[in-house]
Structure 1
Amino acid sequence: MKPLSLTILLPLLLAACADGGSDYTPIVDGVSTAAFQSDLAACQALSRDQRAFDQETAAAAALGAGVGALLGAADDDATAASGAIAGALAGGVASAVDVSDQREAIVVECLRGRGHRVAG
């Protein structure tokens, strides 16, 4: 794949993961109350509004790109550009998975704080 198409693909992949975890609906122990759906929506919105996570993902992608560029330049069969792209993808995806887990945890803790018996 050409580097230009990957540089266009990378931001799209990271954007697709941006709200990952915010739409999580946990398992509730027992019967969910009438307020559960509105509390769930509020907790999901709270999770989605944590924009610092998006900055962490972008920083991880940038760090991965830098490391990948150095490794690509050092390898005889690779170029700095291909190494940067591979590093950005690896760093961005790894961070996006971590951010998704953090957003799910926010939803769970928010619901517990509102008195719901969340099993996970």
Structure 2
Amino acid sequence: MRTKITISTAMLALVAACADSGANYQPILDGAPTPAYQADLDACQALARNQTQFDEDTIAASVLGAGVGAVLGEVDSGDPLEGAIAGALAGGVSGAVDASEKRESIVIECLRGRGHRVVG
């Protein structure tokens, strides 16, 4: 039991660390970068990184997943803790992926707004 909790905690920490990856996105440009590109990229990445509501959404997804997992674990195997752990991991991973995609999108749109020809 203790091993499951330790592994689950480590997995959630890993998911939380990966959530910031979208803010570090290096976009593909159509053409050569302008002299202002690196400064604009740094500013856009900082903007994406500072969107803490995405982290709150990831936590909410983990909590919701834990609740649903606990109910399903109780119904299916009589072990709500195991279900809660699995649900929290599933919700956390889903939330982290979503947050990463949103941060990546912010970087792209921010650079486009600053006049850079970003294609992806």
The question of a shared fold, defined as TM-score above 0.5 by the shorter chain, is answered with yes
Give the gaps of 5 or more residues in structure 1. none
- Residue 109 (str. 1) matches residue 103 (str. 2): no
Contact 2:12 2:92 in 1 (8 A): no
| Residue 18, structure 1, aligned to residue 12, structure 2 | no
Aligned-residue offset at 1:14: 3.0
Deviation of the 1:6 alpha carbon: 3.3
Return the letter of the residue paired with 1:95: G
Identity %: 59
The structure in which a higher percent of residues are helix is: 2
Across the aligned residues of Structure 1 and Structure 2, the Cα RMSD in angstroms comes to 1.4
- Whether the aligned pair in 2 keeps the contact of 1:22 and 1:107 (CA below 8 Å) is yes
After superposition, what is the alpha-carbon deviation per residue over 1:87-117, rounded to whole angstroms, capped at 9, x for unaligned?
A: 0000110111111111000000000000000
TM-score by length of 2: 0.92
Runs of 4+ in 1 over 3 A off after TM superposition: none
Tell me, yes or no, if the aligned pair for 1:20 and 1:99 is still in contact at 8 Å.
Answer: no
Deviation digits for residues 39-98 of structure 1 (CA, Å, limit 9, x no counterpart): 00000000000000000000000000000000001113x511110000000011011111
Unaligned runs of 5+ in 2: none
Name the CA distance, whole Å, in 1 between partners of 2:97 and 2:12. 15
Per-residue deviation at 1:4?
Answer: 2.5
- Indicate the SS of the match to 2:23: coil
Query: What are the residue-to-residue correspondences of 1:9-48 with 2, within 5 Å?
Result: 9-48=10-49
